[in-house]
Structure 1
Amino acid sequence: MIKKWFQNIGPGTLVAAAFIGPGTVTLCTLAGVNFGFNLLWAMLLSIIATIVLQEMAARLGIISQKGLSQVIREEIKIPFLKQFITILILAAIVVGNASYEAGNISGGILGLETVFGEFKYNFDDFSINLMSIIIGVIAFALLYIGNYKFLERALVTLVLLMSFSFIITAIVTKPNILEIFKGMFVPKFPEKSLLTIIGLIGTTVVPYNLFLHASLVKERWHKKEDLKLAKKDTIVSIILGGLVSMAIIVSAASIPSKDILNAADLAEGLAPLYGEFAKYFLALGLFAAGITSAITAPLAAAYVAKGCLGFNGNLQSKSFRAVWMIILFLGVLFSSIGIKPIEIIKFAQVANGMLLPVIAGILLWIMNKKNVLENFRNTKMQNIFGFIILAITIFLGAKVILKVFNLL
């Protein structure tokens, strides 16, 4: 039974690996520290929205045997609109993932440093963090092998390790189960919680995951009969990812101190209350979250570039490798010397804020096209859910853009 389940999980787990990065871990930590269990409902809403959109992306990938960016390029016939959306996708995903990659690697470093301490090499006033180079080399090796099954197994292992680490940490804190259920099913809006709620939804419903998922499923499955397997994989994996996010919120809610800014601080805060092993479990989870996102972000960017620019080839092609190598190199460079490309990150956030509602709208439009999906188009219920989520993404996108320009 367990062996069969392992054989059938795959692309969905990589999507979970992508959305549970250091940013999500940090935000869930702050949500738990500042608001206890009160924002668990926002996480539940995010999980439902993510399942609905990712199932559509997976169905599109299997039936069309094309990536989402390729389908968009082929289906939008108006030249100006096609150019605008292609540039927006490339800016948000390729440039965005390059700027976020340093954060992914830095998250993995935080996990390692919590256990092993700092490893920095100093040249006069200049210092390099050797941990970022180690994480970069691991990510490079896994991506360069270029074998989808091998990459999938490695990431599934890391996601299960991350899930185990965070969930065990939450159990160790002995939370009140009744309060957890109240937090999940009774929406509350504590004072100054709006931005955190927006953040929790925004870090889970991620535009680049829609592109990544549509591309990954066609590497794994090729027949219409595989749709059931893909749907089960999507639901199980995203629920598992959601449980991880909730476990971080639950763990953070048990810390009385408010001087916690990230998961590394949470690991240190848990140690005196629940013993050193709680700290090590959390550090291991943070390392796994960082390295899985450090692998999936360059991979997603390469798939997007391939679809938008129309170049051929597989995981081992030179053009595909060139894209992820550039993104990984920039991430290692920025994280190792401690540079934060603030302006690029702001630009990426604006592009992502614009892209999410645009892609959610286009995905809904494509999922109702008979020439693309034949008899596997959206049902009425799927469209209703889709339009509700589209409204949420428009709201989220507007808030992200207003926040970047300090208008919120």
Structure 2
Amino acid sequence: MADVNTSGNVSAERPDLSAPPSRGQWKLIGPGIVAAATGVGAGDLVATLIAGSRFGYALLWAAVIGCIVKIALAEGSARYHLATGSTMLDGWRSLGRWTSWYFGLYIIVWGFVYGATAMSATALPLAALFPILPLWAWAMISGLACATFVAFNRYEMFENVMKVLIGIMFVIVVGVAIMVVPNLGAAVTGLIPTIPEGSAIYTLGLIGGVGGTITMASYGYWVNAKGWRTPAWMGIMRLDNRVAYIVTGIFVIAMLIIGAEMLYTAQIALSTGDRGLLDLDRVLEERFGPFVSKLFLVGFFATSVSSILGVWNGVSLLFADFVRNHIHGETGTREGLEKTPAFRFYLFWLTIPPMVLLYFGRPFLLVIIYGALGAFFMPFLALTLIWLLNSSRVPKEWRSGWLSNGLLGIAALLFIVLCINEVIGLVA
């Protein structure tokens, strides 16, 4: 039987995956890796480094809590897909037309600004490694190359490339963390929840920021693209999700160790934004030499380009489903999403218009709109998941229990606090 994946490609290459195999389940892990690699970008690395550089190991516990929260959010998104046979966009539409207005405006503004941000982040390590071209040229090349790859490759190839990239990220960052010789006693102490003076917002940001973006809503689409479409795959999905965020947790802890050992003890401050990673590159070169420094830049590049690829694929799927669902009024079918004009338009929207921002920067009003809409997305996701997963839309056996509701409730409360803080910052 031909396999129709979530993105709509009919493939005779893969068998019908209507039920999971009894053996080799670990070999099936993939969509969670894709979601985790996409969610952890250069900005998250800098945020974690700064937390380590300012507070040492004191906020290590917050990184661990953050991964647990992300497991609950991603699991809820994929569980809705598998339990109902529909998508998150179907679920949001069932809650009322207000979701269309919010999500439609958000995904357009977010894509325009994020496209420039992601391309710039990917260009930074490339320009440092190969200074033969200016930063803006590397940014354009990165965006065009990733858009071309996503447009002409199926999910299997996309997942394999993402696995390679997260492998590079993981080995390099964990390797550097081992080289700086972590203080194990201080690290264990850091697992005890404490909030040092002046660290409240950093704590909340560390819990809520790492690996948490709009791509968490894309996880269900990647699960379906893998061939997992029925509740029979629920166990595999949960294994996939937990492994991915445990890997993310180790990765985040490694970055915090690097910040604590190399920056906190030496009282070295980083630049804000993605350029902070270039500051760390210089510190690494002074301590370990140019080889380790260049290797770190390769890891920096892998982190940034994996985010571009994941967003270019996952959020384009979300937009294509948004057009199918909210504009054309179609539900249920997800066939052909990767081949639709809407998917290709959003690839274009992420890549070409943002190149204007590479030259002129981000206009103030656009920054305000982007920040406000973005601040509301994670509370929107957490609260709507609680609503959907406790409703009659989901078969009773797959509705949320006390643990899922508790974690999603904590996530919602956390993101509401972060949202209020972001809005206050924008107004100020």
Task: Confirm or deny: 8 A CA contact 1:114 1:267 kept in the other structure.
Answer: no
- Where does 1:67-216 land on structure 2 (aligned, <5 Å)? 67-73=87-93, 75-76=94-95, 82-117=96-131, 119-120=133-134, 129-183=136-190, 185-204=191-210, 206-216=212-222
| 2:344 is the counterpart of 1:321 | yes
Is residue 378 from structure 1 mapped to residue 392 from structure 2 by the alignment? Answer: no
The code of the aligned residue for 2:426 comes to V
Q: 1:43 to 1:106 in 2, by over 3 A?
A: same
2:86 is matched with 66
Contact map agreement 1:32 1:249 (CA 8 A) in 2: yes
* d(CA) in 1 for partners of 2:153, 2:392: 34
User: Structure 1 residues 22 and 332 mapped into 2: Cα distance closer, same or farther (>3 Å)?
Assistant: farther
Residue pairs, 1:298-313, within 5 angstroms: 298-309=312-323, 310=325, 313=336
- Structure 1 233/305 Cα, relative in aligned 2: closer, same or farther at 3 Å? same
Match 1:243 to one of 246, 250, 267? 250
> What TM-score do you get using the length of structure 1 for normalisation?
0.89
Structure 1 vs Structure 2 CA RMSD:
2.2
1:330 aligned partner: 353
Alignment: residue pair count: 389
2:421 to 396, 399, 402: 399
- The equivalent residue for 1:55 is 75
User: What is the rounded CA distance, in whole Å, between the counterparts of 1:142 and 1:338 in structure 2?
Assistant: 27
SS in structure 2 of the partner of residue 291 of structure 1 = helix
TM-score (norm 2): 0.85
Q: Match for residue 363 of structure 1?
A: 385
Counterparts of 2:104 and 2:249, CA distance in 1: 28
1:229-279 per-residue CA deviation (whole Å, 9 max, x = no partner) reads 111110111111122122112112223252421111101111111222321
Q: Deviations over 1:97-124 (max 9, x none)?
A: 321222222222222233223622xxxx
Counterparts in 2 of 1:238 and 1:306: CA distance versus 1, 3 Å:
same
CA contact (8 A) 1:168 1:281 kept: no
Task: State the identity as a percent.
Answer: 21
Contact 1:217 1:230 in 2 (8 A): yes
Q: Which residue in 2 is equivalent to 1:125?
A: none
Following superposition, which runs of at least 4 residues in structure 1 exceed 4 angstroms of deviation? 3-6
Distance 1:290 1:38 in 2: 27
Deviates more, 1:128-137 or 1:21-30: 128-137
Alignment equivalent of 1:266, drawn from 266, 280, 286: 280
Secondary structure of the equivalent of 1:235? helix
User: What amino acid maps onto 1:189 in structure 2?
Assistant: I
Please state if 1:340 is matched with 2:351: no
Can you give the 5+ residue segments of structure 1 that lack an aligned partner in the other structure? 77-81, 121-127
Deviation of residue 170 (structure 1)?
0.9
Alpha carbons 2:111, 2:349 under 8 Å: kept = no
Q: Which residue of 2 aligns with 1:123?
A: none
- Say if 1:152 and 1:281 are closer, same or farther in 2 by CA, change over 3 A: same
- Equivalent position of 1:124 in the other structure: none
